[in-house]
């Protein structure tokens, strides 16, 4: 079965300029990236880590290393001269001019083999490789208790429904283990219920992302050992990790 067409807002990864610019400024463009995990549906596992040309993948020099030997590829489908490097024979069909993005291919009727998931933001700091998934809530995180109450309801979102639950998030955790990326979930507020403009003066709730945390969230329970901080401080919290 091809990847299902999403029926909910922001189901396809969106890079927030405020975040990508801050990461590039603090860690350098060569150390900041967005990774698409391209997996085989039948094999149920990632076969390529794709760096698609976008706002954050502009000048990458450093990459995490796959313990499983899964290769990285760079993909540019937006330019007239489409590029795939290295040009793996298995993926040559992507640069025939039919698609403007990897997501366009995975959602097309021509795809019966692959699925894609994003590791939203990845960066290399003095503390090693760090990564975080980013999601938003329109009701404000007035305090830690309220943030945890709201986040415990994340299992009501369409992406968490179905017989497999939050399968994509579990895959991200496993891929980050392969890449030795210290992974977190960052929950932030939007300014209004309608629209996705971030509240840059609001709070964020940050917690370590693991299979155990996902299991708790699927049951409607809040995550454990989370930290409430200002939006301006959340990258610093991710960098330093939880002692």
Helix axes 167-179, 211-218, angle to 10 degrees: 170
pLDDT in the model for residue 160: 86
Q: Give the end of a domain, one of 66, 86, 120.
A: 120
112 & 164 share domain? no
Q: Give the end of a domain, one of 89, 120, 151.
A: 120
Q: Give the end of a domain, one of 76, 98, 120.
A: 120
User: Does residue 22 fall inside a structural domain?
Assistant: no
User: Does residue 70 fall inside a structural domain?
Assistant: yes
Cα 140 from chain centroid? 22
Which residue range forms the structural domain that includes residue 71?
32-120
pLDDT in the model for residue 4: 44
Per residue in 131-189, pLDDT (tens digit) is 999 999 999 999 999 999 999 999 998 888 776 778 899 999 999 999 999 999 999 99
Query: With b meaning 16 or more CB within 10 Å and e meaning fewer, what string describes 105-117?
Result: bbbeeebeebbbb
User: Does residue 11 fall inside a structural domain?
Assistant: no
For residue 60, what are the CA distances in angstroms to 64, 124, 128, 145, 189?
11, 11, 16, 39, 29
51 & 111 share domain? yes
98 & 208 share domain? no
Per residue in 42-90, pLDDT (tens digit) is 887 999 999 999 889 988 889 999 999 999 999 999 888 899 999 999 9
211 & 242 share domain? yes
User: Does residue 14 fall inside a structural domain?
Assistant: no
pLDDT in the model for residue 6: 39
What's the structural domain count of the chain?
2
pLDDT exceeds 80 at position 26: yes
116 & 133 share domain? no
Contact 115, 167 (CB under 8 A): no
Per residue in 190-203, pLDDT (tens digit) is 998 866 799 999 99
User: Does residue 180 fall inside a structural domain?
Assistant: yes
User: Does residue 10 fall inside a structural domain?
Assistant: no
pTM: 0.91
171 & 102 share domain? no
140 & 194 share domain? yes
224 & 157 share domain? yes
Contact 13, 37 (CB under 8 A): no
60 & 134 share domain? no
User: Does residue 21 fall inside a structural domain?
Assistant: no
Instruction: Provide the percentage of residues in the chain whose pLDDT is more than 70.
Output: 92
63 & 97 share domain? yes
Q: What is the DSSP track for 189-206?
A: EBSSSSS--B-TTSEEEE
User: Does residue 4 fall inside a structural domain?
Assistant: no
217 & 239 share domain? yes
Per residue in 2-19, pLDDT (tens digit) is 444 433 333 345 789 999
DSSP lists the bridge partners of residue 214 as none
């Amino acid at each position: 079965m091809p990847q299902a067409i999403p029926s909910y807002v922001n189901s396809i990864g969106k890079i927030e300029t405020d975040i990508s610019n801050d990461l590039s400024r603090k860690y350098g463009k060569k150390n900041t990236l967005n990774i698409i995990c391209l997996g085989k549906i039948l094999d149920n596992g990632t076969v390529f880590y794709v760096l698609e040309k976008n706002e954050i993948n502009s000048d990458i020099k450093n990459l995490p290393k796959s313990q499983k030997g899964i290769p990285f590829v760079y993909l540019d489908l937006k330019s007239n001269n489409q590029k795939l490097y290295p040009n793996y024979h298995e993926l040559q069909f992507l640069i025939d001019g039919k698609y403007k993005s990897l997501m366009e291919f995975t959602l097309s009727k021509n795809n019966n083999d692959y699925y894609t998931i994003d590791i939203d933001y990845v960066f290399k700091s003095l503390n090693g490789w760090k990564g975080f998934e980013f999601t938003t809530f329109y009701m404000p995180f007035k305090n830690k208790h309220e943030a945890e109450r709201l986040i415990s309801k994340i299992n009501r979102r369409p992406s968490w429904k179905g017989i497999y639950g939050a399968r994509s998030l579990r895959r991200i955790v496993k891929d980050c283990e392969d890449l030795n990326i210290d992974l977190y979930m960052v929950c932030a507020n939007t300014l209004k219920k309608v629209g996705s403009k971030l509240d840059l003066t609001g709070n964020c709730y940050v917690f370590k992302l693991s299979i155990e945390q996902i299991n708790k969230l699927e049951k409607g329970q809040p995550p454990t050992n989370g930290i409430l901080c200002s939006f301006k401080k959340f990258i610093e919290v991710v960098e330093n990790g939880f002692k």
